[in-house]
């Protein structure tokens, strides 16, 4: 320090203690000055302190503490040792989570896992270590009957087909293949063939043969079913009718027909009666029956040109239906 009025090894500098400061000693080498600051006045310091977010300040005591939020759902509290403590409430926290694309979430356990797509052709699986795994290699698929290829760019997966051996046009004439509700390939409906027949026998008591040609004397009905619910049926229908006539002597006659088609004509110009003269006719027609439907076919049996007291005493008929669905 600069010397100030010093002599004889002592200084006469004046040193005065300010507020909250003390000065001890005489300034000699043996007793130097000691300047000390006193303890701060807390009541003066405390007004300088304030609390921001997350803190509380008690100006009366000068104590600063953490301030816990009073908002609903706050899980933080003071632990037993006075420190900040948050205990995780799993049932409460789990409600905050949900799973998006490619993820599964079990709300009861809080476990997330990968969700694999069920779309056809997905090759991803869970590996032996439970990680997501896609097999590598040239062959990405295995094939069985009806398929060929391995799914790679150089050998794509295709249907195994034969060579069209027919002279007709494949696009115009070939059937098609369809996928059913269980994913099984199906072809066109199978061909169906059916046969139905019915016999009818009438024994009238010697009725007179009508004089007018093609007069209906009886009917015979057959209900024909189409066994296929998919396609129309083609029907070949054969109708067979035979009758017995009694033809008195002299000049008598009779005719037998199917619908308006007279099939047979008989007469007797002899001197004796002709009894139980048998004649028979057959006709073939075709019909179409809608898919799953039926045809109520009615055969009309006709007679005519009766003369000379001609009568009939028996009519027998057959209806035979050949049903084809191709």
The pLDDT confidence band at residue 256, using thresholds 50, 70 and 90, is: very high
Q: What is the pLDDT of residue 12?
A: 61
Q: What is the pLDDT of residue 40?
A: 73
Higher pLDDT, 287 or 110: 287
Residue 184's alpha-carbon distances to 103, 177, 180, 181, in angstroms, are 31, 10, 5, 7
Tell me the longest C-alpha to C-alpha distance in the chain: 202
Q: What is the pLDDT of residue 280?
A: 95
Q: Cα 114 from chain centroid?
A: 24
Instruction: Specify the pTM.
Output: 0.53
Q: Cα 258 from chain centroid?
A: 56
Q: Cα 109 from chain centroid?
A: 31
**31-40, 167-176, 177-186, 225-234, range with greatest mean pLDDT:** 225-234
pLDDT tops 50 at residue 138:
no
Question: Using the 8-state DSSP alphabet, how is residue 260 labeled?
Answer: T
Q: Cα 166 from chain centroid?
A: 38
Question: Using the 8-state DSSP alphabet, how is residue 209 labeled?
Answer: P
pLDDT tops 70 at residue 277:
yes
pLDDT tops 80 at residue 152:
no
The pLDDT confidence band at residue 6, using thresholds 50, 70 and 90, is: low
Least confident of 2-6, 72-76, 267-271, 286-290: 2-6
Alpha-carbon span 174 to 163, nearest angstrom: 12
By the 8 A CB rule, do 25 and 17 touch? no
Mean pLDDT of the region 271-281: 96
Mean pLDDT of the region 80-103: 84
Higher pLDDT, 155 or 277: 277
pLDDT tops 50 at residue 210:
yes
Nearest to 320 by CA among 261, 235, 259: 235
Alpha-carbon span 157 to 139, nearest angstrom: 10
Alpha-carbon span 194 to 148, nearest angstrom: 39
Mean pLDDT of the region 258-273: 95
Least confident of 31-40, 219-228, 247-256: 31-40
Mean pLDDT of the region 239-257: 97
Higher pLDDT, 84 or 139: 84
pLDDT in tens, 300-312: 999 999 999 999 9
């Amino acid at each position: 320090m600069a010397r100030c009025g010093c002599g004889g090894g002592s200084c006469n500098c004046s040193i005065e203690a300010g507020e909250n400061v003390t000065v001890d000693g005489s300034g000699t080498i043996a007793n130097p000055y000691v300047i000390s600051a006193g303890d701060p006045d807390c009541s003066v310091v405390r007004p300088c302190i304030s609390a921001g977010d997350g803190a509380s300040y008690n100006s009366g005591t000068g104590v600063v503490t953490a301030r816990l939020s009073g908002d609903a759902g706050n899980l933080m509290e003071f632990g037993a040792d006075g420190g900040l403590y948050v205990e995780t409430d799993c049932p409460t926290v789990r409600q905050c989570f949900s799973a998006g694309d490619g993820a599964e979430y079990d709300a009861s356990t809080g476990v997330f896992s990968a969700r694999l797509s069920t779309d056809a052709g997905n090759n991803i699986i869970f590996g032996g270590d439970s990680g997501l795994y896609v097999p590598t290699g040239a062959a990405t698929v295995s094939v069985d009957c009806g398929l060929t290829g391995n799914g790679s760019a150089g050998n794509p997966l295709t249907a195994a087909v034969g060579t069209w051996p027919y002279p007709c046009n494949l696009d115009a004439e070939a059937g098609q293949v369809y996928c059913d509700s269980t994913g099984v390939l199906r072809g066109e409906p199978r061909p169906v063939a059916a046969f139905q027949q019915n016999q009818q026998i009438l024994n009238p008591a010697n009725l007179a043969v009508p004089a007018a040609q093609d007069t209906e004397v009886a009917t015979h009905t057959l209900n024909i079913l189409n066994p296929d619910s998919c396609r129309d049926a083609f029907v070949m229908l054969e109708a067979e009718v035979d009758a017995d006539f009694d033809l008195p002597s002299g000049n008598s006659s009779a005719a037998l027909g199917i619908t308006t088609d007279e099939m047979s004509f008989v007469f007797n110009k002899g001197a004796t009666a002709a009894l139980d003269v048998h004649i028979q006719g057959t006709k073939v027609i075709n019909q179409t029956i809608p898919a799953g439907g039926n045809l109520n076919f009615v055969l009309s049996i006709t007679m005519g040109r009766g003369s000379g007291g001609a009568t009939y005493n028996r009519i027998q008929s057959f209806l035979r239906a050949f049903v084809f669905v191709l």
